[in-house]
């Protein structure tokens, strides 16, 4: 065998074993994604590759070693896909999760029947939900806010050219100029209790901004802030949707129920059957 090249199958097999031994949840998928990234192709097109040049194989080995140290896959490739949009991500911003696509899909459905809907995404992070809303809701006016300076910079990059009104600030005081006019509010707030530090996957605990992860002793502090702000921003009959931890399927809806301001309070499960996000309608 030519020492300057390596077989694609052997490379993938070794990388998959290495990632599996390191505790990576999807070793085969990540091994293939990294090789496709190094070769400038897609995972589906890897079957057309028989041999990998030695220089590319070395680059691949270095990336696999970093992934084995639990650096997020998206930090290594620089890209995350969310519904139909591409996002640039890296250190300093929360990597969007596939589960959050369900929240975005709910918001898109809610806005579909409204003429020129006004949508607000609080705690926008990378801008994933806001970008998806702008991409899929015809005629929508989309606003987004992010407190963290680094994350805001990533959102600005991702939302450039989309028409989204992106602001930097605290969701607790954001968009006072829109009070009573918003049709749909979305939010993926921090929701991990402070005492759950050790249970968080290393990819998130060691690489995502802590501002995007932790939310007080019970994980619901940010949700309480969201409830109050959404009540101010929404028009009567407007709706809010917010992601939460899978252990908060009862406590998250209770935040909305406790205030008496909401109707149609409902919790939604993800594709794995776990409680994932809560929605509510502002009473008329």
Which parts are annotated binding residues for S-adenosyl-L-methionine? 146, 188
- Binding-site annotation: residue ranges: 146, 188-191
Angle between helical axes of 27-39 and 54-68 (0-180°, round to 10): 140
Q: Could you tell me which residues come within 8 angstroms of residue 60 by beta carbon, excluding any fewer than 6 positions away?
A: 11, 15, 34, 35, 38, 52
- Binding-site annotation: residue ranges for substrate: 188-191
Q: How far is 159 from 128, CA to CA, in rounded Å? A: 9
In this structure, the dihedral spanned by the alpha carbons of residues 245, 247, 249 and 255, taken in order and rounded to 10 degrees, is -70
Closest CA to 227 of 193, 183, 261: 261
Q: How far is 82 from 260, CA to CA, in rounded Å? A: 34
Dihedral sign from CA coordinates of 138, 142, 146, 150? positive
């Amino acid at each position: 065998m030519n020492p300057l090249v390596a077989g694609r199958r052997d490379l993938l097999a070794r990388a998959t074993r290495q990632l599996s031994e390191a505790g990576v949840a999807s070793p085969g998928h990540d091994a293939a994604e990294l090789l496709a990234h190094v070769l400038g192709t897609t995972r589906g097109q890897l079957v057309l590759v028989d041999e990998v040049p030695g220089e590319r194989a070395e680059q691949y080995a270095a990336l696999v070693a970093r992934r084995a140290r639990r650096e997020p896959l998206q930090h290594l490739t620089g890209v995350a896909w969310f519904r139909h949009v591409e996002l640039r991500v890296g250190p300093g911003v929360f990597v969007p999760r596939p589960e959050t696509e369900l929240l975005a899909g709910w918001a898109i459905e809610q806005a579909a029947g409204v003429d020129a809907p006004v949508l607000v995404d609080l705690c926008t992070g990378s801008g994933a939900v806001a970008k998806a809303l702008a991409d899929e809701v015809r005629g929508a006016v989309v606003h987004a806010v992010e407190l963290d300076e680094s994350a805001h910079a990533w959102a600005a990059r991702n939302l450039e050219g989309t028409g989204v009104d992106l602001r930097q600030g605290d969701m607790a005081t954001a968009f006072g100029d829109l009070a009573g006019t918003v049709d749909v509010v979305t939010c993926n707030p921090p929701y991990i209790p402070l005492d759950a530090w050790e249970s968080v996957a290393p990819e998130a605990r060691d690489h995502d901004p802590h501002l995007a992860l932790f939310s007080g002793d019970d994980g619901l502090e940010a949700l309480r802030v969201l409830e109050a702000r959404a009540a101010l921003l929404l028009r009567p009959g407007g709706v809010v949707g917010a992601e939460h931890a899978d252990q908060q399927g009862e406590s998250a809806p209770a935040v909305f129920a406790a205030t008496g301001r909401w109707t149609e309070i409902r919790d939604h499960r993800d594709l794995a059957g776990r409680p994932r996000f809560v929605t509510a309608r502002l009473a008329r």
